[in-house]
Amino acid sequence: MKNIVITGGAGFIGSHVVRLFVNKYPEYNVICLDKLTYAGNLANLKDIENKPNYKFVKMDICDFEAFYQLMQNEKVDGIIHLAAESHVDRSIKDPFTFAQTNVMGTLALLQAAKLYWESLPEKYEGKRFYHISTDEVYGALELTHPEGIEPPFTTTASSSEHHLAYGKDFFYEDTKYNPHSPYSAAKASSDHFVRAYHDTYGMPTIVTNCSNNYGPYQFPEKLIPLFINNIRHRKPLPVYGKGENVRDWLYVEDHARAIDLIFHKGKTAETYNIGGFNEWKNIDLIKVMIKTVDSILGNPEGSSLELITYVTDRAGHDLRYAIDSTKLQKELGWEPSLQFEEGIEKTVRWYLENQEWMDNVTSGDYQKYYETMYCGK
Ligand code: NAD
Ligand code: TYD
């Protein structure tokens, strides 16, 4: 495959995927396609923007005509689709935008790809439509513990030696979809469309469902960058409910490596779950962030604990997510490269050392980058 479109490439995960592909595959033509919503930031790609195998295209994935043109002009062989509205809290306030982008946008890409690929003599040979989804489509798991053991307990997963778990159940590839938020409902719907294009038209599709990502370049509306920035500026840390909800965290570069592996080696029409067997109760994770930021900034230990502010819970707040990624580990040999303690320290340091990036995002200045860099060129 030569000509690859990565949608949502100016976002958090997308920028890591674009960077990996541009650096690792000089022979590929990597097209980063992004509408540059509030979540898209071209400064995330500053280090690779002048590479000869990289191109940025500002486009809305809902624009079927424009995307069909792009497929033809660029002779696109592969699509890695990350563009989406991605924040649960926004989806509660504005579900229509989520349905439009996540469902209709995905459908527009599928249909344009279908028309273009079916017009070629080789048809779908050597082509791939890879859709990036989330574990949130599976719904929420219970917090259940083996008799007499206080959570979290250490268990042995079939694939990884030991991991912390807050319950006996996990999300598997065949777990029934049961989305609760408008965000996860829209992602679930888009997953169904992708699979339908395989089953109905024979399009070579792949879907992966990943757990919560963390790392550099995440928009500071999400828990980890928001809280690191608030601790730095000694602002309140709004903990939803009692902070008892459990999330399964994966370092973003490990997700990008999994995407690379699956894009090249994954089996058509398969689903792979991606996760690091790394569950954290929100309040415990917040305390780790406080400790790490305080220690790096030289604040007295624990001095930022007073910033913790319990606020009204998120509506329909899913209690626990936990991914079983045994299939990916066994079949394709992927495993996370970072221990969580290492990953969180690296992440905290990145946000503290890249205050200019954070200031540009919080001030809105990052949205001028496109005009400065691309308009009039
Ligand atoms: P993000 O919000 O940081 O980035 C989304 C990107 O998509 C932005 O650059 C935005 O400008 C672009 N975009 C939005 N609407 C668009 C449109 N109509 N046309 C073109 N571009 C558009 O999101 P993220 O956290 O990087 O997530 C990327 C993908 O991974 C999403 O599909 C998300 O559902 C999935 N995912 C995210 C996580 C996570 O923890 N962040 C976990 C699992 C799966
Ligand atoms: P988030 O980063 O929004 O990811 P998701 O909702 O996709 O899991 O939130 C992670 C967890 O942190 C989730 O349980 C909600 C909680 N949370 C807070 O307690 N306070 C906050 O300000 C935010 C943004 C999230």
Ligand 1 pocket by Cβ (under 6 Å) = 7-8, 10-14, 34-37, 39-40, 60-62, 82-86, 101, 105, 132, 134, 187, 210, 212-213, 219
Of 302, 274, 295, 376, nearest to 341 (Cα)? 295
For ligand 2, the distance from its centroid to the CA atom of residue 99, given in whole angstroms, is: 21
pLDDT in tens, 32-57: 999 999 999 999 999 999 999 999 99
Q: What are phi and psi of 90, to 5 degrees?
A: -65, -35
Are the CB atoms for 117 and 109 separated by under 8 Å?
no
Cα distances (Å, whole numbers) of residue 175 to 74, 135, 178, 297 = 37, 10, 9, 43
**Distance between CA atoms of 265 and 259, rounded to whole angstroms?**
10
Residue count of the chain = 377
Can you give the pTM of this predicted structure?
Answer: 0.97
Given this model, what pLDDT does residue 246 score?
A: 94
Of 301, 248, 304, 296, nearest to 276 (Cα)? 248
Q: Which residues are catalytic?
A: 135-136, 183
Given this model, what pLDDT does residue 147 score?
A: 66
Q: Please tell me whether residue 8 adopts helix, strand or coil conformation.
A: coil
Q: Which two tokens stand for residue 71?
A: 């497929």
Spans of the chain, pLDDT less than 50: 158-160, 377
User: Which residue's CA lies nearest to atom 11 of ligand 2?
Assistant: 223
Q: What domains lie within the chain, and their CATH numbers? A: 1-137+177-210 (3.40.50.720)
Cα distances (Å, whole numbers) of residue 319 to 127, 136, 149, 213 = 38, 11, 19, 17
Tell me whether strands 153-155 and 163-165 are parallel, antiparallel or unpaired: antiparallel
One-letter amino acid for residue 247 of the chain? R
Q: How far does CA 335 lie from the centroid of its chain?
A: 17
Contacts (Cβ under 8 Å, ≥6 apart) of 159? 325, 326, 329, 330, 335
For ligand 1, the distance from its centroid to the CA atom of residue 8, given in whole angstroms, is: 6
Of 41, 60, 61, nearest to 49 (Cα)? 41
pLDDT in tens, 298-341: 999 999 999 999 999 999 999 999 999 999 999 999 999 988 88
User: Which residue's CA lies nearest to atom 13 of ligand 1?
Assistant: 83
Of 73, 84, 85, nearest to 31 (Cα)? 73
Given this model, what pLDDT does residue 144 score?
A: 78
Is 187 a pocket residue for ligand 2 (Cβ < 6 Å)? no
**Distance between CA atoms of 299 and 304, rounded to whole angstroms?**
8
**Distance between CA atoms of 40 and 305, rounded to whole angstroms?**
32
Of 130, 101, 109, nearest to 40 (Cα)? 101
Q: Please tell me whether residue 18 adopts helix, strand or coil conformation.
A: helix
Cα distances (Å, whole numbers) of residue 354 to 212, 229, 350 = 22, 11, 6
Given this model, what pLDDT does residue 368 score?
A: 87
Is 211 a pocket residue for ligand 2 (Cβ < 6 Å)? no
Is 240 a pocket residue for ligand 2 (Cβ < 6 Å)? yes
> How is 289-342 classified by DSSP, letter by letter?
HHHHHHHHHTPPTTGGGGGEEEEPPPTT---B--B--HHHHHHH-----S-HHH
